[in-house]
């Protein structure tokens, strides 16, 4: 499965993250960066999906729980 390109610059990774939308579930169509923190925390407890989506959700989780959501402000 495809994962986040580790050779990609952090700036490009954030841009890609900002454009990715949730493909299923209650928040289908929401940008990953706009998912409610409790939903992302729930995923962390249940286990993230495999592949690129899981990697991106894991990144969103780390950003949200560490209070770094300001990184998304310019991307919205």
- Please write the tens of the pLDDT for every residue from 13-25: 888 988 999 999 9
Counting DSSP H helices and E strands in the chain, the numbers are 3, 0
Q: Is residue 34 part of a domain?
A: yes
Query: What pLDDT, in 10s, does the model give residues 29-71?
Result: 999 999 999 999 999 999 999 999 999 999 999 999 999 888 8
Does 4 score more than 70 pLDDT? no
Total structural domains in the chain?
1
Q: Is residue 29 part of a domain?
A: yes
Q: Is residue 1 part of a domain?
A: no
Does 2 score more than 70 pLDDT? no
**What are the C-alpha distances in Å from 41 to residues 13, 35, 72?**
21, 10, 18
Q: Identify the residue with better confidence: 32 or 73.
A: 32
Between CA 28 and CA 31 the distance in angstroms is 9
Q: Which domain holds residue 67?
A: 10-75
Q: Is residue 4 part of a domain?
A: no
């Amino acid at each position: 499965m495809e994962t986040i390109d580790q050779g990609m610059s952090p700036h490009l990774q954030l841009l890609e993250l900002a454009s990715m939308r949730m493909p299923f579930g209650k928040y289908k169509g929401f940008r990953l960066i706009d998912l409610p923190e409790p939903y992302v925390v729930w995923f962390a407890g249940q286990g993230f999906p495999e592949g690129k989506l899981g990697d991106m959700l894991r990144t969103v989780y780390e950003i949200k729980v560490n209070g770094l959501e300001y990184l998304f402000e310019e991307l919205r």
